[in-house]
Chain A
């Protein structure tokens, strides 16, 4: 572990310089999620604009504009160009985020629909001690609210703990925690998942083969996530562990508690990111002060740029046992280090100066990616999975929630482009999802059923 640390530490320095410049490139890109990225992105963007301004200057002059009278115009034109490039690539980034979110949801829904295990109630997490098997509605509601309060406080405690650790530079502890948690996630949950899938399809598999498969899967996963690996493989692994975590949540959270928790989490997310005293914001600011990337992490990044300090504190990890919970939470807050990206970037940097300036910027912008916290993936999938599992209108409700979440994501990205600082990605999507779930289940379903039985079309 020590050598690992040394590697990562030494890589962090060059990583910082280059990536901090890169991330300055466009505001919406990096921070998409909570806190940390926001202020970083803001500063980075300011740096970038200045740099871009200077680099674009000569081009504009060459374009034949008068220098003196056009300076303010050029500056505003530059800003407009920045914005427009941002928006133009904005659509691409939205799609870059749509695809993984959709994939994660598809995996979760497919599993829920086919494997019985995840819809059976076999117990609850210790974080939600109150059972919901009570006869009266009021009591059930009360218990679910209590469960939610406990869960949210656990999350808050974890987040604050992590921020404190980060503040006091206990990097090794955090790294260790993170590695342990991802280890557990990759091996244990995958084992359970594979076991259940094989049981459902009645496929026999012997232990040695299983061991080999899981060992390979887990080892490659650890390397990909925490160290270097091809981008797509890394993305695939992140999607898979988000799906696994979401499945665990769906299984172990009781019904009403799950919905109340989803609502409470989005409120918490909103507050933690936007309030000045929020833990996530503190995390970002600290990372920015030190000008370093935060953790090898769980932030999904859609392109190879990256890292610079964008922490994604999305709240919480919830998990069936304590260890993983902590770990999972860490995971959410950690950020991925793509050292391989650095080497790639150095290669692309060298031909760059010989090219004209505008193409330099374009190149950098193309490499930009968008980042979304894995916690967001998890909660979106929990919403859609719960809709698939418990709604009686089956696919209509699931589809409605899916569209609602995607639209929420779009809107959040749009807001990001407008505000240019990190925003919580949960509230809007989850609100839409919840509204659509409840309304589709209760209102649309009887309507569509009646229409279908008479074979009427609207």
Chain B
């Protein structure tokens, strides 16, 4: 679905593609830094202590989430500057792309990159022979991974919109809400393989974020009804 989003909405406009790739790049850099921290922590600690390793992993995850949000903020700053530049240079005084569109594209960029990194090795292995869950792990590994990745991609997209909106209007609580949501979703994934615990709340959160982003972007229940009834 994310790829479909990409094709329909982004592939037309070259500027959006650039913003997308840049968004993916920022996510990548944040991942790099967070894995650097984790790596150092692991190397500095005792590799045989299970609990410590698990604790370090959790710490790594949380830190990574925080770093991702920080990079989202940095990307927002960069896009603000870029938009000012585009407005200054454009012929009719308004920029060819609005900040909301940029927010959307940035969110998709983050989401795609995170989804790709989560899924792609899995997909490559899935092509080969093997049985899922042979060592007593869940048999639904692939399915749940796929759903979780999808929800995460969508969430990144919505978070992008919410985050940028919050930055635009100086609503700090919106930004905090995004960060808290991100932490929650990552934390929920710790419940795996108890999938009920992680997938269901994630989807609920995603629905909430979707509704919120939709309202922020100027939609309303009326628009939705009109759209659904094809008026």
State the A residues within 8 Å of B (CB): 80-81, 83-84, 87-88, 91-92, 94-95, 98, 393-396, 399-400, 403-404, 406-407, 410, 436, 439-440, 442-444, 446-448, 450-452, 454-458
Contacts and interface: CB of A to CB of B under 8 A. Distances in A.
Contacts of A444: 31-32, 35
Interface of B: 14-15, 17-18, 21-22, 24-25, 28, 31-32, 34-36, 38-39, 42, 57, 60-61, 64-65, 68, 86, 89-91, 96, 113-114, 116-118, 120-122, 124, 141, 144-145, 148-149, 152, 185-186, 189-190, 192-193
Contacts of A407: 21-22, 25
Contact of A403 (B28, B39, B186): B28
A109 to B, nearest CB: 12
Contacts of B122: 452
29 contacts: A80-B89, A84-B91, A87-B89, A95-B17, A396-B117, A396-B120, A396-B121, A403-B24, A403-B25, A410-B18, A439-B36, A443-B36, A446-B35, A446-B42, A447-B31, A447-B34, A451-B57, A452-B118, A455-B148, A456-B57, A456-B190, A456-B192, A457-B118, A457-B149, A457-B185, A457-B189, A458-B61, A458-B68, A458-B186
A261 B131 CA distance: 42
Contact of B114 (A84, A395, A443, A458): A458
A443 B39 contact: yes
Contacts of A458: 31, 34, 61, 64-65, 68, 114, 186
Contact of B15 (A83, A91, A98, A396): A91
A280 to B, nearest CB: 28
Contact of B39 (A91, A92, A395, A447): A447
Interface of A, secondary structure class, is helix
B32 A443 contact: yes
A94 B36 CA distance: 32
Contact of A94 (B18, B113, B114): B18
Given A80-B89, A444-B32, A455 B113 contact: no
A410 B145 contact: no
A81 B32 CA distance: 40
A404 B25 CA distance: 7
A7 B203 CA distance: 67
B52 to A, nearest CB: 13
Contacts of B18: 91, 94-95, 410
A442 B60 CA distance: 16
B90 A84 contact: yes
B10 to A, nearest CB: 11
A87 B36 CA distance: 36
Contact of A88 (B36, B90, B116, B118): B90
Contacts of B64: 458
A400 to B, nearest CB: 6
Contacts of B28: 400, 403-404, 436
